[in-house]
Amino acid sequence: MRGMWGGYARSLGGLGRGFGPEAFGREADPNRSHGISARECLRRALRYFTPYRGATLVILICIGAHTALSLLPPLMVRAILDEAIPRRDVARLWRLVLGLIVLPLVTGLIGVLQNYWHTRVSQRLMFDLRNELYRHLQRLSLRFYAGTRSGEIMSRLHNDVGAVQGAVLGAVIGVVTNTLTVVMTAAVLFAMDWRLATLACAIVPAFVLPARRIGRVRHRLSRRTQEKQSELLALTQDVLHLGGYLLMRLFGQADYEAERFRARHGEVMDLQMRQAMTGRWLFLFLSVLAAAGPALIYGYGGWLIIRANPAAPDVITIGTIIAFVAYLGGLYRPAGQLANLYVDLQGALAVFGRIFEYLDMKPDVTDRPGAQPLPPIRGHVRFEQVTFSYRPDHRPALKDVSFEIPPGHLVALVGPSGAGKSTLTYLLPRFYDPPCGRILVDGYELRDVTLDSLAAQVGMVTQDTFLFHASVRENLRYARPDATEDMLFAAARAAQIHDVILRLPEGYDTLVGERGFKLSGGEKQRLSIARALLKDPRILILDEATSALDSESEAAIQAALGPLMRGRTTLVIAHRLSTVLAADLILVLDEGRLVEQGSHAALLGQGGLYARLYATQFRRQAEVVQS
């Protein structure tokens, strides 16, 4: 069930039908590890900062100013206790008090400015990353989509990118902020009293050293969590999709699907619990250390005051001890946050690794260097000794196939199931490239022209019609966004669907529903034909199967196909006697080989495979028509 409703590519007449992930080479398993190290992930992630160097500099300036101003209050408190009050200096006292009031306002305003630019840059980074990933996914080949569940793709595009939103920027900013705070605080502490500073700083390594091991565990758990979330999203999208819902109801599998969802969701919940609890005992220990620091300063500092000679020049004052303890928060808190940042960064880099795995996938079909746009063509098609296999170790789907189609001719593709008919139609629009042989259109080899220019002149109408959950007008204009109303109406009339559209509740503005569910099978097919007419391709590929439709819909579709095929080079996977009789050329395929070609009469006279297929398949249609 999960492979039936996976997305647009698989709806194109069964593209990828019958191929599991094992059949699709290097793009088949998007969840495999490419061995991207955390260091490499970080290096690549930091590249996204390049367009925002100015904004990042503003953030760093704000950090420096905020950190420096945050160091002043304890010094001002010490000045109040040790200088202003003992000397009865009221003016200085009130200046210091006013400074204690104004400083939080200034640092708060700087913090607002920093947060604005931090948020702006992190949002832009996510925007850039998601757009880059989306554009890259558009370029990946049919091989990838035929072997990957659409829910997995959605998870990478939305969940994974969302999971790293601001993670790298936050980590970089956090590292700079906390390192600067630790260094500046330590400098102030040593300037105040080297003995107390040495005691305070001796605890700092205990905050940082254990973080590396916990970071590795967090990295592994984070990656596993994202993978399980991808599986959960894929399952949800399969079942809570129109097709999946219908199958679930038809086969009474609601309890089974609920249990599957519960089991997968339970795995995600367990991993999230483990991820959330990773290192919490360490952080509890660190919080005890953070509390022990002030106690030791009070004890050691008090002992020094008690033992000191009041006349000595290096005597410690009460104000110094109070200021020292106030600074310890600025020493231990950022040290602990550095440990936390390392753990969190490892988790974010694991998710980044999943995104980079997709970005590192190489499309099977690309524009080669120097490819030229395909000029307007007449539609002359030639296959020269084309051999193609979906995997090197599989039986070739096409073997040494050669034929030629003059411009404007109608060609019927005939053969038993698995003969290679669909594969042949996939190669002409370059869904795949054959490793052996050449395919030429008007003398241009397909590999020498750009994909977009080829797509502009090749159209396809398939048995399984895909429509977006949008209006009739939007679905039609997908083929030609600049089409006028008159052009829409003309295409719809030629496809025998215009009057049907006008009877819909909102006419051309009627939403067709998920995959066109609000329309009948025949109406969807005729709408697809109208869309192809609007595109006006020079080469047309058809799967004309209408066996699942009623006789009225079938007749309407056959009437609509007439103007669509007129004057175009057309390849039809033929299921009807009328098509093979009307064809200028019939190509008979068997086990990937082109075994016969010619007209209907000539092939019947040969008494080969076509004659046998006619006797078992097409003759019955003729008898039904005659009766």
| % of residues, the chain, pLDDT over 70 | 82
The residue ranges of every structural domain in the chain are 38-223+278-359, 377-457+541-553+573-627
CA 302, CA 297: separation in Å to the nearest integer? 8
CA 411, CA 594: separation in Å to the nearest integer? 13
Higher-confidence residue: 606 or 274? 606
Where do the DSSP E strands lie in 219-297? none
pLDDT band at 376 (very low <50, low <70, confident <90, very high): very high
Identify the CA nearest to 439 among candidates 453, 457, 425, 420.
425
Identify the CA nearest to 60 among candidates 14, 130, 118, 123.
118
pLDDT band at 29 (very low <50, low <70, confident <90, very high): very low
pLDDT band at 587 (very low <50, low <70, confident <90, very high): very high
Mean pLDDT lowest among 352-366, 571-585, 610-624: 610-624
Determine the pLDDT at residue 155.
79
Identify the CA nearest to 149 among candidates 348, 10, 309, 43.
10
Report whether pLDDT(548) > 60.
Answer: no
CA 303, CA 323: separation in Å to the nearest integer? 17
Q: Any idea what the Cα angle at residue 142 is, between residues 137 and 144, rounded to 5°? A: 60
Distance of CA 173 to the CA centre of its chain: 27
Q: Any idea what the Cα angle at residue 152 is, between residues 23 and 359, rounded to 5°? A: 80
Determine the pLDDT at residue 211.
61
| pLDDT tens for each residue of 283-336 | 676 677 767 777 777 787 788 777 776 655 556 777 778 877 877 777 777 877
pLDDT band at 86 (very low <50, low <70, confident <90, very high): confident
User: What's the number of CA atoms in the CB half-sphere (13 Å) around residue 229?
Assistant: 20
pLDDT, the chain, mean: 80
Query: What is the CATH topology of the domain spanning 377-457+541-553+573-627?
Result: Rossmann fold (3.40.50)
| pLDDT tens for each residue of 241-250 | 666 766 676 6
Higher-confidence residue: 4 or 215? 215
User: What's the number of CA atoms in the CB half-sphere (13 Å) around residue 282?
Assistant: 19
Determine the pLDDT at residue 30.
37
* Residues 88-114, mean pLDDT to the nearest whole number: 90
**Structural Rg of the chain based on CA atoms:** 35
Higher-confidence residue: 445 or 519? 445
* Residues 97-125, mean pLDDT to the nearest whole number: 89
Determine the pLDDT at residue 241.
65
**Bridge partners, residue 405, by sequence:** 381
* Residues 607-621, mean pLDDT to the nearest whole number: 81
Determine the pLDDT at residue 210.
66
Report whether pLDDT(564) > 80.
Answer: no
Higher-confidence residue: 139 or 316? 139
The tokens for 517 are: 């569910």
Q: Is 444 helix (H, G, I), strand (E, B) or coil?
A: strand
CA 90, CA 118: separation in Å to the nearest integer? 42
Determine the pLDDT at residue 132.
92
Report whether pLDDT(279) > 50.
Answer: yes
pLDDT band at 21 (very low <50, low <70, confident <90, very high): very low
Please check whether the domain covering 38-223+278-359 is classified as CATH 1.20.1560.10: yes
Report whether pLDDT(345) > 70.
Answer: yes
Q: What letter does residue 456 receive in the DSSP assignment?
A: T
Pick the most confident of 168-182, 263-277, 405-419. Answer: 405-419
pTM given for the model: 0.72
| 569-573 vs 444-445, strand pairing mode | unpaired
* Residues 84-105, mean pLDDT to the nearest whole number: 88
Report whether pLDDT(398) > 90.
Answer: yes
| pLDDT tens for each residue of 142-200 | 888 888 877 788 878 887 887 776 666 677 777 888 888 888 888 888 888 888 888 88
Determine the pLDDT at residue 258.
85
Report whether pLDDT(50) > 50.
Answer: yes
Determine the pLDDT at residue 316.
76
Higher-confidence residue: 517 or 181? 181
Determine the pLDDT at residue 36.
73
